[in-house]
Structure 1
Amino acid sequence: MKRIDIIYDGTLYSLGGEEYDELKTSIAAAHDEGRSTWLRVDHGEGRARSAEILIAPGIPISLVAINTDTDAEGGSDDDFGSGSGGFEPGSGDGGVVEDGVDE
């Protein structure tokens, strides 16, 4: 089972049954087009409540891919899809992105 944890305005939300790369691409497309979109997520532990968060340029959001099958086996939770490569300090990849420009 896969889950994506989302940190938004300092609060943890989660989303189940979605592919990390598809969600990331969808959010990036909205930002590239300069439009806002609502994302339905789960909030809370135990019995989660449905919530919607506004995805828009200038609003920080973090995505964390969680592969619960791998985690249960003691494996890595770094399941960011194929070919992502991850962040390399000093590589120019990552950091704060505002108005489509890496800082």
Structure 2
Amino acid sequence: MPQIDQIAAIYASQLFWLVLVFALIYFGIGRAMLPKIQRTVDDRAAKIDGDLAAAEAARAAADSAEGAYLAKLDESRAAAQAETAAAKARATADAEKRVKAADAEIALR
């Protein structure tokens, strides 16, 4: 068969071109494209790390703001309870005065 007879004649030429094409592909991708891809991956990782750090800082700021809010809320609640207790005491004292005055009036009659 003529196809099989010519394998020996063209075998070295095809092997040469195969090695040449694979070398071009390897160096084209490995030397030219891979560093660009790696740089993109590194930039993306750095951006993600920066975003995570910013989110952590924002969370810490929110936690401190929440702590200040809760402290102010407790302070306001305590002030309101103190004012309520003082108003209750004033109302009780006023009621006692009126009852004593009414008792004294009734005692005079």
Larger radius of gyration: 2
| Band the TM-score falls in, shorter-chain normalisation | under 0.3
Higher strand share: 1
TM-score normalised by L of structure 1: 0.17
Greater RCO (Cα-Cα under 8 Å, separation 6 or more): 1
TM-score normalised by L of structure 2: 0.16
